[in-house]
């Protein structure tokens, strides 16, 4: 199997390339739209899409803030930023949108500049130290009383069938998957960083046979990525062969063609508020 992974960006992050993210959004669109609409983003707000990928969420953010709002988008991968620029040139979204390359642990924005931050599927890639820095930056650039929304994938609920579930878990134990295993710790993490009124909700995505074309595209990309990880992991040859088999999409016995095919993934949405002005000032002075 080739080492090339089309879901990986130039920064080395797997499952972060813009076209792949588009397929994920399209396959799970009802749940994703429900998540972003539940945040409470208001017309006229200035919103940061932190880790915007290929811009899948931008049309929905633009709809929420309306023509009087403003969106900034930032991503670490230059190719994702280029894709977003093309998107907003070809499909004006009804409000001003600016996009740039940058790291979420050192945001290029002034203090108290945003009413809200939307951050989807980023925390899984960060170390604990990087996560602390990112939340400190979110705290800095969001106004007192503003909103921070963190959407993350929950690896503990991921499964598909018919397939040996033990094979799935042996792979995840064998790779550095801690970022996607700590999603339920994010509410506590936000509180420890000083955010208040922290709320956590889960959004379960389930799909079964027959599959829509965009779902097939997404699942095939996932299977290719999982097989790439398997080939580089310290797992048995039997497990590696099982993961290679799920990339043989022409096989008449492929799991995606099985009448009992089932897919489940869970997403966690954590929403917190920056404290009011006086509380934020005091906490900032105390470090």
* DSSP string across 259-277: TT-EEEEEEEEEEEEPPPH
> What pLDDT, on the 0 to 100 scale, is given for residue 29?
94
What residue spans define the domains of the chain?
18-155+175-206+266-285
The whole-number mean pLDDT for each consecutive block of 10 residues of the chain, a chain of 287 residues, reads: 62 67 88 96 98 95 98 96 94 94 98 98 93 97 98 93 94 69 94 97 97 95 91 93 97 97 97 83 58
- The residues facing 272 across adjacent strands are 148
* DSSP string across 35-76: HHHTT---TT-EEEEET-TTSTTHHHHHHHH-TT-EEEEEES
Range 18-155+175-206+266-285: architecture per CATH? 3-Layer(aba) Sandwich (3.40)
> What pLDDT, on the 0 to 100 scale, is given for residue 273?
98
> Mind listing the pLDDT tens digit for each residue in 193-252?
999 999 999 999 999 999 999 999 999 999 998 998 899 889 999 999 999 999 999 999
pTM of the shown model:
0.91
> What pLDDT, on the 0 to 100 scale, is given for residue 174?
57
Distance CA 50, CA 117 (A): 7
């Amino acid at each position: 199997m080739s080492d090339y992974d089309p879901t990986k960006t130039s920064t080395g992050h797997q499952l972060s390339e813009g076209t792949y993210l588009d397929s994920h959004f399209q396959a799970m669109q009802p749940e994703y739209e429900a998540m972003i609409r539940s945040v409470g983003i208001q017309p006229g707000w200035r919103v940061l899409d932190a880790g915007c990928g290929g811009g899948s969420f931008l049309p929905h953010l633009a709809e929420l803030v309306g023509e009087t709002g403003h969106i900034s988008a930032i991503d670490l991968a230059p190719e994702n930023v280029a894709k977003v620029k093309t998107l907003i040139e070809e499909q004006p979204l009804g409000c001003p949108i600016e996009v740039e390359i940058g790291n979420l642990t050192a945001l290029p924005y002034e203090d108290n500049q945003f009413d809200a931050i939307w951050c989807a599927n980023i925390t899984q890639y960060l170390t604990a130290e990087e996560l602390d820095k990112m939340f400190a930056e979110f705290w800095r650039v969001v106004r007192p009383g503003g909103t921070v929304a963190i959407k993350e994938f929950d690896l503990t609920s991921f499964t598909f069938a018919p397939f040996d579930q033990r094979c799935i878990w042996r792979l995840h134990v064998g790779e550095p998957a801690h970022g996607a295993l700590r999603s339920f710790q994010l509410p506590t993490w936000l509180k420890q960083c000083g955010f208040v009124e922290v709320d956590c909700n889960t959004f379960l995505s389930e799909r079964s046979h027959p599959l829509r074309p965009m779902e097939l595209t997404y699942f095939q990309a996932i299977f290719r990525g999982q097989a790439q990880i398997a080939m580089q992991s310290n797992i048995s040859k039997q497990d590696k062969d099982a993961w290679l088999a799920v990339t043989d999409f022409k096989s008449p016995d492929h799991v995606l063609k099985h009448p009992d095919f089932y897919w489940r993934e869970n997403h966690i949405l954590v929403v917190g508020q920056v404290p009011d002005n006086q509380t934020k000032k005091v906490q900032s002075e105390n470090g």
